[in-house]
Structure 1
Amino acid sequence: MVGELSARVQDSQDERLVEQYCHLSFLRWDQVRVRAETMGLRDAPEPRLGRFDGHLKGPARTEKAPYGSGMTQRLHSAMLRARLDSAALAEAVDVDAKTVNRWLSGRVPHRRTRAAVARVLNESEDLLWPQTRPDLTPGASATAEVQSAYAHRADIPNELWTSLLLGADEQIDIAGYAYPFVLELLPNAADILASKCRDGTRIRMAFADPDCPHVAERDALEQMSGTLPGRIRNALNMLGELTDTPGCDIGLHTTHLYNSVFRFDDQMIVTPYLIRARGYQHPALHLRKLSPHGIFTSFAEQFEQIWGSATHYPEGLSRELTA
């Protein structure tokens, strides 16, 4: 393999191949530089923060690889990319070289040290030591994304709702049946949302089509005596100038929902529906996005599914219905 790589290096200007050649043939960086210049490579590699005076120490070939060896290989590779050996990295983060070698054998540094190593190597902590962030692993059972849980939506402090609404500056996505309370959080809530759109915030609000069969079913389940369609029309009427504001899209869906979603940038309120309970009686979860594989992403993807089937308003319903 080393011979094959050496032949490729001779015909290449790719510095990464020189780095791989150094690792596989256990050359010192000064030797690699001479070799690179001999081969006529431009911009021969230089150590950045320390001199690489030998190959990185790792598990012997005859030893059984330690648990998490794939993870320690990430540190090994990052040190190669930074052209640092154990001694140079140890000096940069103020530890002993033997400590770095223990990391390369599988030991996980303390949190403060991990942050320092990540800065020196220009990598993220979760890439170097993914075992320290189980919530970033697909299928993980970590629940760190759940910031708080409420027995009822009505238990959520009004201050939390308003802080989420006022603090969002990238996107606001809402899907439910009516949710007029969102537009009643502040006396000028619709004007605030319109102003956010003009400043670049993307807002998407999906209401249920008041004439679709699912609305009648939900009305019966919540024992609302036929008032849900009127609540939806009332909420649409409260939108005011939002319906004509660039950056704000209003849609009508015909999806049978099992929960409402209120997303404000990387935070979200989700209310799972209970049978025969009104909207304010449903439980609620306050979520914060910490992982692309977490519960936040699951509900965000559900919103996209709902939004993809929604009809643009007011094309889907005449303005007269909201009068």
Structure 2
Amino acid sequence: MWGETQVPNERLRAVMATGGWTYATLAEKVEVDPKSVERWVNLNRTPRRSTAILAAETLGEDVHALWPALRQARPARAVSPELVALYDQRADIPVSTFVEMLTQARERIDVLVYAAVFLHEAYPRLNDLLRERAAQGCAVRVAVGDADSPNVQQRGQEEKFGHGIESRCRLALLHYRPLIGTPGVEVRTHGTTLYNSLYRADDQVMVNAHVWGVNAYGAPVWHLRRHGEGGMFDTYAQSFDAVWATATPVQGV
């Protein structure tokens, strides 16, 4: 629990009265003891964040209006419940780990990279896998870097690979081009400054960090699994959507 004072929570009292809520009926709805609700009102106690959010939704009120203390920063957790694994560098991860994750996808596969040609090189059946998933109703979206984009070219300079990254982007597009026209599969090119490469399969995502001067294979990767709304997984999923909206569809030959 957060701190308490002896000043009643008049905002909460008024909202409950307006909606006809009693201590007992609200307590039943949010699965707490009626005495807890009474303390929220009369002693201005602030419930746990998850309980407060549920109570606010039940009352049709903004949670921070009812409990301003929740605006304070939450203490850092030692380990996020969304974190499945943390790898020192992408090269430590067997390609089979990526393949297994993609194979398990039933609704969505999203890939956001500059090139990531390692997938096709280590697993030549990648396109077949994506076709199979799409045929089973899985929406597949792949965004690779636009070799002519200044941001992509700048990344090449940072990696000290020069024009190598541009060549890898073109090679990645060649790998994915046979998928153009496949129902359920979309391929686009993007010219964004990419802070992370993303490999998503339903509620799992591999996030390959981009580190200045380091090739992606030498940078860390965190494997996340979605745990409720508004977490790290959703942050990266929204990031993908934002880039996707600016990307250019690849046309067939």
TM-score above 0.5, yes or no: yes
Aligned in 2, Cα 1:80/1:175: closer, same or farther, shift over 3 Å? same
- CA gap of 1:165–1:79, structure 2 versus 1, over 3 A, is farther
Contact 2:151/2:191, CA 8 A, preserved across alignment: yes
Q: Note the 1:271-310 alignment, pairs <5 A.
A: 271-310=208-247
Distance of 1:77 and 1:285 partners within structure 2: 45
In 1: Cα distance, 2:112 partner to 2:147 partner: 14
Question: Residues 116-142 of structure 1, C-alpha deviation per residue, up to 9 Å, x if partnerless?
Answer: xxxxxxxx9x847x9xxxxxx996444
Counterparts of 1:241 and 1:165, CA distance in 2: 19
CA distance 1:171–1:101, shift in 2 (3 Å): same
Alignment partners' CA distance in 1, 2:38 and 2:200: 43
Among 110, 124, 144, the alignment partner of 1:173 is: 110
Q: Does 2:121 match 1:163?
A: no
2:82 aligns with 145
1:277-322 CA-to-partner distances (Å, cap 9, x unmatched) read 111011111111113221211111111111111010037xxx5xxx
Question: Cα gap change, 1:164/1:185 in structure 2, threshold over 3 Å: closer, same or farther?
Answer: farther
State the distance in 2 between where 1:185 and 1:283 align: 19
Q: Is the 8 A contact 1:209 1:215 kept in 2?
A: yes
Q: 2:169 aligns with which of 232, 245, 260?
A: 232
Q: Could you say what secondary structure the match of 2:97 adopts?
A: helix
Alignment check: 8 A CA contact 2:95 2:119 kept? no
Structure 1: which 5+ residue stretches go unaligned? 1-62, 90-98, 108-123, 131-136
Does residue 204 of structure 1 match 2:120?
no
CA contact (8 A) 1:176 1:206 kept: yes
Q: Is the 8 A contact 1:194 1:241 kept in 2?
A: no
1:250 paired to 2:190 = no
Check whether the contact 1:176–1:260 (CA below 8 A) recurs between aligned residues.
yes
Secondary structure at 1:177 match in 2:
coil
CA RMSD of aligned residues (A): 3.5
Q: 1:206/1:103 Cα in 2 relative to 1: closer, same or farther (>3 Å)?
A: same
Identity of aligned residues (%): 29
Specify whether residues 106 and 179 from structure 1 end up closer, same or farther in structure 2 by C-alpha distance, changes over 3 A only.
farther
SS at match of 1:239: helix
Q: Is residue 196 of structure 2 the alignment partner of residue 263 of structure 1?
A: no
**Which residue is equivalent to 2:129?**
192
Could you tell me which amino acid in structure 1 is paired with residue 222 of structure 2?
L
- 8 Å contact from structure 2 (residues 111, 143) kept in 1: yes
Bigger CA radius of gyration: 1
Contact 1:190–1:240 (Cα < 8 Å) also in 2: no
Correspondence list, 1:112-131, <5 A:
127=54
Corresponding letter in the other structure for 2:215? R
> What displacement does 1:208 show?
0.8
- Partner of 1:286: helix, strand, or coil? strand
8 A contact 1:162–1:185 mirrored in 2: no
| Structure 1 position 210, deviation (Å) | 1.1
Deviation at 1:80, TM superposition (A): 3.5
TM-score between the two structures when normalised by the length of structure 1: 0.56
Q: TM-score scaled by structure 2?
A: 0.70
Q: Answer 1 or 2: higher relative contact order, Cα 8 Å, separation at least 6.
A: 2
Letter of the 1:205 counterpart: V
State the shift of 1:102 in Å. 5.5
SS of the equivalent of 1:249 reads strand
The number of aligned residues is 213
Please give the alpha-carbon distance, in whole angstroms, between the structure 2 residues aligned to 1:79 and 1:280: 57
Alignment of 1:23-172 (within 5 A): 80=25, 100=33, 127=54, 140=74, 141-142=76-77, 143-172=80-109
